[in-house]
Amino acid sequence: MSKYVVSSSPHIGNDRTVATIMLDVLIALMPAVLGSVYFFGFYALFIEILAVGSAVGAEALFNVITKREQTIGDCSAAVTGLLLALNLPVSVPFYVPIIGSAFAIIFVKMLFGGIGKNFANPAIAGRIFLLLAWASAMTSFVKPITWINGDAFVYFRCILRGREGLLDVAALSTATPLASLRTDPAGLGVFDMFFGAIGGSLGETSALLLLIGGVYLIVRRVIDWRVPVTFIGTVALFALIYGAAKGHALDYILPSLFGGGLFLGAFFMATDYSTTPNTKLGLVVFALGCGIITSLIRFFGSYPEGVSFAILLMNIVTPYIDKAFIPRPFGYRPKKGAKA
Amino acid sequence: MKNERLNTLTNGIVKSNPTFRLVLGTCPTLAVTTQAINGLAMGAAVTFVLLCSNVMISLLKKVIPDRVRIPAFVVIIATFVTVVQMVMKKFLPSLYDALGVFLPLIVVNCIILARAEAFASCNPVLDSALDGLGMGFGFTLSLTFIGIVRELLGAGSFFGLPIGSLGNVSMTIFVLPAGGFLVYGTLMALVNYLTALAENRKYDSSKKKGKKEAKA
């Protein structure tokens, strides 16, 4: 062995692997997971475990059947399962997370070649599949269990109840704040939305907890800050313009930001490596597109929420964004008079 | 000779199945297969038109000038489609409504035009009839199959008969267009995989036979 090794790039490596990155994402999601248990009880945890388990199980099974190298060790299936679970309402029946995870892993990820080769974020595609498959189960939300009159005993009795317990209290069914965004934005409690005491899917209700996880990911440099900042900024700007057109410029901004799945999407779903552009400029364009489509669907579409559709659509155009922003190779000078 | 005729007949059912192998006529395939019975009816209509038009075109192949053959084919096909349409409207009005615009659109169905162009216009009458029948059967089988899967998953029933309480957990996506693409793609992959498997086995066994003969 010679002292000097000649090899092709990359020359500088570190001990970061897919598994450590995915573990970071899982850590960043923990506040939201704890929040989901706090707001919706232990049935939320049951759904999360079910989704993660079936995602990992589906990937393992697929690898065994197709005689491929086992890839569940990179934790990406676990992240997909957890993200999918956080996108579900707590009142879904048990088979919804199982089928959703299996669809996300097998159809969206593994059939296209596994991690890094999927054309769309598996969790997003899985959520949209479920939304189209069981529309009513996926859009009926329950009110979170809040600290009822400060009575700890009542509260703990509530969070221990299962799905039947949740559905039992029929008065608790509610809509997400987004449902009334277009009609009555001023009537929404911004603080409840920020802390998470609102109806919504398991992980999307608390903007604060998602923000904590998102900042952790940015600090750890797992995700690029440009995506969430541009995405959220675009939505805010759009809400400002829409509000200005309606005569209440500021009423729409905060409900737009905290009311739906924007933070979950912007920090955790729109930052998947294989389905977003490779260049920084490309990422900004990607996030801009996500923000515009989200706002268009929310304000003018027939669905109250548009984050997942926006991310899916931008996932699909990602290769074209990449083609449009090819970085200049180091040291390369364009020839004079040559066409770009 | 007989064997060849049989091949012409079975060609359309497995080896060059119009739906799964030639990928022809995907528009009606995706649009009408929300229920098994619709797929079956569409397939039957196409089979009838295909059989009649193949025979007619094969009979007239020397009469039709080459330059205007496509318009001539379309006129012949449209005649039979009109017949099917009138019969269905009279005797099966509910199916007629369910198939909607896709029934008259059989006129421009690419399976029928493709078989007219590629087979009937350069083959004798009997072979053309067998080809039309085989292709029609293949199309009917595929459509019914897709329809069964979509109906089972999307509405929890089999040819309109509800199966247990499956309807309560059925996934609406499978009767929507997105589910049509999903089922179509998955079944195509499955059929191609099984066909490749069967061909490999045939190839292996013929190789083994060859080896044995060489040893002997």
**Residue A104: domain span:** 18-323
Q: Which residues contact A169 (CB under 8 A, 6 or more apart)?
A: A142
Residue B165 has pLDDT above 80, yes or no: no
**Residue B28: domain span:** 2-215
Radius of gyration of chain A (CA): 21
User: Hey, are the CB atoms on B176 and A134 less than 8 Å from each other?
Assistant: no
**Number of domains, chain B:** 1
Distance of CA A45 to the CA centre of its chain: 18
Average pLDDT score over chain A:
85
Residue A169 has pLDDT above 60, yes or no: no
Residue A340 placed within a domain: no
The whole-model pTM stands at 0.85
Mean per-residue pLDDT, A12-17: 82
Residue A335 placed within a domain: no
Cα A189 to Cα A144: distance, rounded to the nearest angstrom: 14
Residue numbers in B near A135 (CB within 8 A): 172
Residue A54 has pLDDT above 60, yes or no: yes
User: Hey, are the CB atoms on B178 and A132 less than 8 Å from each other?
Assistant: yes
B34, B152, B171: which to substitute to probe chain A, counting the most A Cβ within 10 Å?
B171
**Number of domains, chain A:** 1
Average pLDDT score over chain B:
87
Mean per-residue pLDDT, A241-248: 85
Helix (H) or strand (E) holding B32: helix B26-32
Residue A7 placed within a domain: no
Residue numbers in A near B172 (CB within 8 A): 132-135
For strand B161-162 and strand A173-174, is the pairing parallel, antiparallel, or unpaired? unpaired
pLDDT band for B52, please (50, 70, 90 cuts): very high
Mean per-residue pLDDT, A303-330: 89
- Residue-wise pLDDT tens digits, A93-124: 889 999 999 999 999 999 998 888 898 999 99
Residue A171 has pLDDT above 60, yes or no: no
Residue A331 placed within a domain: no
Minimal-distance CA residue of chain B relative to A129: B173
Residue A161 placed within a domain: yes
pLDDT band for B66, please (50, 70, 90 cuts): confident
User: Hey, are the CB atoms on B169 and A107 less than 8 Å from each other?
Assistant: no
User: Hey, are the CB atoms on B172 and A107 less than 8 Å from each other?
Assistant: no
Neighbours of A269 (CB within 10 A): 27
Task: Pick the range with the lowest mean pLDDT from A176-190, A227-241, A291-305.
Answer: A176-190
Residue A173 has pLDDT above 80, yes or no: no
Residues 132-171 of A with CB under 8 A from B: 132-135
> How large a percentage of chain A has pLDDT more than 70?
88
Task: Pick the range with the lowest mean pLDDT from A181-195, A288-302, B114-128.
Answer: A181-195
Burial B54-69 (b: 16+ CB within 10 A, else e): bbbbbeebeebeeeeb
Mean per-residue pLDDT, B61-84: 91
Residue A251 has pLDDT above 90, yes or no: no
Neighbours of B191 (CB within 10 A): 17
